[in-house]
Chains A and B, each alone.
Chain A
Amino acid sequence: EDKVVQSPLSLVVHEGDTVTLNCSYEVTNFRSLLWYKQEKKAPTFLFMLTSSGIEKKSGRLSSILDKKELSSILNITATQTGDSAIYLCAVERRGGSEKLVFGKGTKLTVNP
């Protein structure tokens, strides 16, 4: 059975801190790993990772995939209160189905 595990489930930091969120997966026919940020409504896309070892960056956020370790990390530097959200990791399988398997998410709280 496909599985996506995120850790930690919850994290509380102060503004300015750097955080690392983890995602590990067990999926047959892996195609890609995606990171989403969810505030009060639907998730918003952050990154899609398909190749191992290539870092993707967007402002203070960055992410990298390790296919050997079947995992990915999402880094947020110089955190701000607006970064408070649930960060979801999802994995997409190759071939036929386009379904996403989601992890339970990491709830990040950034305090001023």
Chain B
Amino acid sequence: GAVVSQHPSRVICKSGTSVKIECRSLDFQATTMFWYRQFPKKSLMLMATSNEGSKATYEQGVEKDKFLINHASLTLSTLTVTSAHPEDSSFYICSARDPLDRAGNTIYFGEGSWLTVV
């Protein structure tokens, strides 16, 4: 079945540096991907909707200059956390929809990326 791959699964970076997380749809083309953030013991919070070939749509309260999203191809979206701070430490998950999947489960999640900023 369709798979969404996310990389890296874990990353540790220093405060002030930037880190990039990739989300790939492996066997389908995704015009839209979603980026979520999850704090420990909390639910998933949608950060932004990534649109292939156009600007991402950010949710209220999410800083677009801090969380840069690029969706340059139909199979790849990237989230770059710029000038990372310890409070950016979190679990980041992407998801994508397979527009051709009619089985019912049309939303697939990546494996998630644990970001720790030290």
Contacts and interface: CB of A to CB of B under 8 A. Distances in A.
Given A98-B97, A100-B34, A43 B109 contact: yes
The size bracket of the interface on B is: 20 to 34
Interface stretch (A61-69, A73-81, A102-110): A102-110
Contact of B42 (A43, A48, A100, A104): A104
B contact face: mostly helix, strand, loop, or mixed? strand
A98 B32 contact: yes
Nearest to B34: A99
The size bracket of the interface on A is: 20 to 34
A43 B44 contact: yes
Given A48-B104, A88-B44, A102-B44, A42 B34 contact: no
B49 A99 contact: yes
Contacts of B6: 42
A contact face: mostly helix, strand, loop, or mixed? strand
Contacts of B42: 104
Nearest to A104: B43
B88 interface: no
B95 to A, nearest CB: 8
Interface of A: 34, 36, 41-45, 48, 88, 90, 92, 97-105, 107
Question: Lowest 8 A-B CB distances belong to which pairs?
Answer: A42-B109, A42-B112, A104-B43, A102-B43, A102-B44, A45-B105, A48-B104, A41-B112
28 contacts: A36-B109, A41-B112, A42-B6, A42-B93, A42-B110, A42-B112, A43-B109, A45-B105, A45-B107, A45-B108, A88-B43, A90-B44, A92-B107, A98-B32, A98-B97, A98-B107, A99-B34, A99-B46, A100-B34, A100-B46, A100-B95, A101-B46, A102-B43, A102-B44, A102-B45, A103-B43, A104-B42, A107-B41
